[in-house]
A = this chain, B = another copy of it.
Amino acid sequence: MMAQIVDQDVSIQSGFWKQKLDMVIDRMIPYQWQALNDQIPDAAPSHAVENFRIAAGDSRGDFAGTVFQDSDVGKWIEAACYSLAERYDRKLDERLDELIECIGRAQRPDGYLNTYFTVREPEKRWTDLVSAHELYCAGHLIEAAVAHYQVTGKRSLLEIVCRYADLIAQEFGTGAGQRRGYCGHPEIEQALFRLYRVTDNPRYRDLAAYFIDERGRDPGVFQRDVKSDANPYGFAVVENRWHRADYYLAHKPVREQLEVTGHSVRAMYLYAAMTDYFLESGEKALWEVLRGLWNDLVGRKLYVTGGLGSQSFGERFTTEYDLPSDTAYAETCASIGLVFWAQRMLLSDPRSEYADVIETAMYNGVLAGVSLDGSRYFYVNPLEVQPDVAQYRHDHAHVETSRVRWFGCACCPPNIARMIASFSRYLYTRSARTVWVQQYVGSKATLALGPLRVAITQVTDYPWNGKIELIVEGEAGIAFTLALRIPSWCSSFTCSINGRSWEKSTVRNGYLEISRTWAGLHKVILDLSMPVLFIQADAQVKELAGKLAIRRGPLIYCVESCDNGPDLHMLTLNGNAETSAEYRSDLMEGTCVVHARGYRSTSQPLPEQPLSLYRVADPGQSRKSVRISAIPYHQWGNREPNGEMTVWLRST
């Protein structure tokens, strides 16, 4: 096992992700700034920026929004900084400076920085770690500051958050007079590891480690702080079976947490931070815990889209193999959290399975959360939506059947923005003698291996087809292993170097390894075969028994009623029949439509007398052959409001 690093210079230049990046830069970031400033008509008000102005004394009024409203500002700053790295924008840079100055004025003289407690309840700092999200908000400001410093070189926000982190480090710990505790929503832990890495101040690493080690101690913060009913911050902290300490990932010390459980976003953020901890400490026992959690997730609790969290109530994991399609929660933030965790697992252990999960989550569970134009969002991402039922049934109340402009609890939209804007950081990892190409994205990168550098340019239409051209230009004397990820969905591929077929290497840990000197200019062409695949779930998954999904490359497909007519449940897929894939530049900014053969049940006329919903079965009858057209799941809901959609179809 060998830790890798990602501190390279990479930018996304062309193709699928360039289009997404442009959407984030040109539309989402300006749109979200308007949203955070309550300038979007018909959208739920945010008040997030105004809260900072009020705390700064620049404006008058009361705090408004959720108790964790500050975090939306933190995430937006982070996204904006990544966008500056991809494409500099002086006005945005200046807007950030202004906002950071305001944040600075909102900071209390002792370093404290939280608009809810500053404006509303200054005397109640740190009194409800379980639900007040105080350290969570601190974490997002810290992550914003790290990104701002990394991208702009400016220390303005970094210094603000360091003062705050210093205050937190003074307040919390095992020393005399210090508070014992940690946040109900993990987030500050991964932020502090990032802050440690840019400042080299071990205090921040140790504080992160403290919060992780303290978590789940008994008796601890949850026995002390959980209120018996609704707290003033709008969260029902009622003790019920879905809302106990495990919801907060605080039911056991983290090294004893062997099953994926609790609130799905909290779980992902905690596991990511635990992996950061492992990356710093190399503690083998912690790695075993992380591997166990990973296997529990991917082997028993993960949707095929990279979505996670089966239940709305508690936004949480349920039991193993319980993966309902229609009532799925699969919060966009949880898939983003999974990318954070998987990336840290990948840095710990260069196996393609982690990068495969990042790919699945990014192309499906994450991207589904935002409309093509960047202005409408899903908070939850079910794999099947039947609007008549979803709009009526109480157990579907969390399902939006069309994307919406903003949310009262708007954690997802700025999280998507920062995720896409930072995706260039997920393309490569490297060690002293290996460069792993983890994601296939039109991009330019300059990577340092010791004193020598190599530039890699990727040109590809991925994910629409599987051909990737890599131009590798190394300085004289450079030699390393280029490790090209062969995704687990790919069963056949070809590779050539400078026009000659490359047959020498084998696939190891999921990577095609090419070890050689790379001085001068080299063209590597990897061609991943990308047929249409029918996918089935393990037989343990009750909800998916007898069903098939369509996958092509990294994309999970779905069918929509606007292509296939209403009553999608009447369709069955013929898994043995021919399929075809058709690239359509005219459709939804470009897509690859998959066609497959199947059947549609036809409703027989009911017997006149007596009327009944049920009749003696007549197998093989009452269906007609149809062509089923599927589109990538992440593009659903972009053409008609309140259409039907399903990922899984019955097998004929």
**A545-B601, A611-B299, A614-B535 known; A576+B510 contact, CB < 8 A:** no
Complex contacts, A295 vs chain B, CB 8 Å: 611
CA–CA, A539 to B568, complex, Å? 11
CA–CA, A351 and B608, complex, Å? 13
Q: Give the residue name and chain of the B residue nearest to A394 (CB).
A: B313
Which residues does chain B contribute within 8 Å of A411, judged by CB atoms? none
CB within 8 Å of B: which A360-397 residues: 386, 388-389, 392-395
A572, closest chain B residue (CB) = B546
Encode contact with B along A609-652: 1 for CB under 8 Å, 0 otherwise. 11111111111001000000000000000000000000000110
Cβ–Cβ contact A614 & B546, under 8 A: no
Interface-lining segment among A90-98, A182-190, A314-322, A417-425: A314-322
- One digit per residue, 1 when the CB lies within 8 angstroms of any chain B CB and 0 when it does not, for chain A 286-325 equals 0000000001001110101000001111100011011100
A606 within 8 A of B: yes
How many chain A residues sit at the interface, stated as a range, is: 35 or more
A462 within 8 A of B: no
Picked from B242, B351, B538, the residue with its CB within 8 Å of the CB of A614 is B538
Q: How distant is A213 from chain B, measured CB to nearest CB, in Å?
A: 28
Residue of B nearest to A299 (CB): B611
CB of A156 within 8 Å of the partner chain: no
Chain B residues near A545 (CB, 8 Å)? 569-570, 601, 650
CA distance A310 to B613 in the complex (A): 15
Contact of A311 with B394 at beta-carbon distance under 8 Å, contacts A298-B613, A304-B614, A617-B536 already known: yes
Interface string of A340-374 (1 = CB under 8 A from B): 00000000000111001000000000000000000
Extra 14 A-B pairs, beta carbons < 8 Å, given A539-B567, A619-B651: A299-B606, A304-B614, A311-B393, A318-B389, A319-B389, A322-B388, A353-B610, A488-B612, A536-B614, A539-B601, A539-B602, A539-B603, A545-B601, A548-B617
27 contacts between A and B (CB under 8 A): A241-B392, A300-B613, A302-B613, A311-B395, A312-B394, A312-B395, A319-B392, A322-B388, A322-B392, A322-B393, A351-B609, A351-B610, A352-B610, A353-B609, A353-B610, A510-B609, A535-B616, A536-B616, A538-B606, A538-B614, A539-B567, A539-B570, A539-B603, A539-B622, A540-B603, A541-B613, A576-B619
Task: Report, nearest first, the 8 A-B pairs whose CB atoms are least far apart.
Answer: A353-B610, A313-B394, A395-B395, A542-B569, A536-B617, A534-B617, A539-B601, A539-B603
